[in-house]
């Protein structure tokens, strides 16, 4: 593959890195408890995704702007408390989705303040050499990538598990109540992760063959 093309592809993908190529759930393996437990309902998944975005973006920006001036031992504590305050303040935003959604999410609402995705991005950008604009881009794209997988899993599990979508009956080819259990969430997440890796490798192979039509692709 030509070096110029590699650089161009990487430069373009930088703006949606967390959405596809480095999806935090499928590729990074982060926030897995949320992906396998909460995704029994589309309402729950949308609600937790809103709360994550509302806490992740400001907290990562805080780490980018002030992280270099904070002590290493105290920075994670500050990020956690700041994120928790944002989550508590933003809970009213999800109540129009369903009055009981906050109760159904339970302990997972405060757990958002200590999830691996938030702490990883804060640690990455707690360096004055990294520009805040990149912190903002990554926080938004990783939030979108998290929401994409959460909603996709919830759509499949709610539809095939209960015959509903967003609480509305929708005819399904079959319904299996076992799809709602946590173990099935792990299986579906693993299948989606494998599919994402396959599609990524297929895309790279197509680009390689386009740039090198007379040579065989390197063996994996």
- Counting the structural domains of the chain, the total is 1
Report the pLDDT value the prediction gives residue 87, as an integer from 0 to 100. 94
- In degrees and rounded to multiples of 5, residue 107 shows phi and psi of -65, -20
Residue 218 confidence (pLDDT): 53
Decide if 126 is inside a domain. yes
The pLDDT assigned to 201 comes to: 80
Bridging pattern class, strands 168-169 and 164-165: antiparallel
Query: Residue 96: phi, psi to the nearest 5?
Result: -60, -25
Residue 12 resides in a domain: yes
Q: Which helix (H) or strand (E) holds 211?
A: helix 182-211
Residue 148, domain member (yes or no): yes
- The predicted pLDDT at position 6 comes to 52
Please calculate the CA angle 56-193-21 and round it to the nearest 5 degrees: 60
Within a domain: 217: no
CA distance 214 to 47: 51
Nearest to 23 by CA among 120, 147, 106, 162: 147
Residue 94 lies in a domain: yes
Residue-level pLDDT at 106: 84
The confidence score (pLDDT) of residue 216 equals 54
Separation of alpha carbons 171 and 8, rounded Å: 45
Q: How many helices (H) and strands (E) does the chain have?
A: 9, 2
Q: Say if 158 falls within a structural domain.
A: yes
Q: Is residue 69 part of a domain?
A: yes
List, run by run, the mean pLDDT of 10-residue segments along the chain (220 residues).
54 65 80 88 93 94 86 88 94 89 87 89 80 87 91 92 87 84 89 84 74 59
Query: What is the SS3 assignment for 191?
Result: helix
Check: CB of residue 38 under 8 Å from CB of residue 44: yes
Structural domain containing residue 181: 3-211
């Amino acid at each position: 593959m030509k070096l110029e093309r590699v650089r161009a592809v990487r430069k373009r993908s930088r703006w949606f890195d967390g959405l596809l190529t480095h999806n935090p759930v499928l590729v990074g393996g982060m926030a897995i408890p949320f992906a396998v437990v909460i995704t029994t309902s589309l309402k729950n998944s949308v609600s937790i995704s809103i709360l994550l975005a509302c806490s992740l973006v400001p907290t990562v920006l805080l780490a980018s702007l002030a992280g270099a001036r904070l002590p290493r031992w105290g920075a994670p504590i500050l990020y956690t408390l700041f994120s928790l305050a944002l989550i508590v303040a933003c809970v009213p935003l999800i109540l129009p989705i369903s009055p009981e959604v906050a109760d159904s999410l339970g302990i997972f609402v405060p757990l958002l303040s200590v999830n691996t995705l938030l702490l990883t991005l804060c640690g990455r950008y707690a360096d004055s050499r990294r520009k805040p604009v990149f912190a903002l881009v990554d926080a938004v794209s990783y939030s979108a990538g998290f929401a994409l997988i959460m909603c996709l899993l919830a759509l499949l599990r709610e539809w095939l598990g209960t015959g509903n979508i967003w609480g509305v009956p929708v005819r399904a080819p079959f319904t299996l109540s076992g799809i709602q259990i946590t173990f099935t969430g792990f299986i579906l997440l693993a299948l989606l992760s494998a599919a994402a890796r396959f599609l990524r490798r297929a895309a790279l192979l197509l680009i390689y063959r386009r740039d090198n039509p007379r040579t065989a692709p390197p063996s994996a």
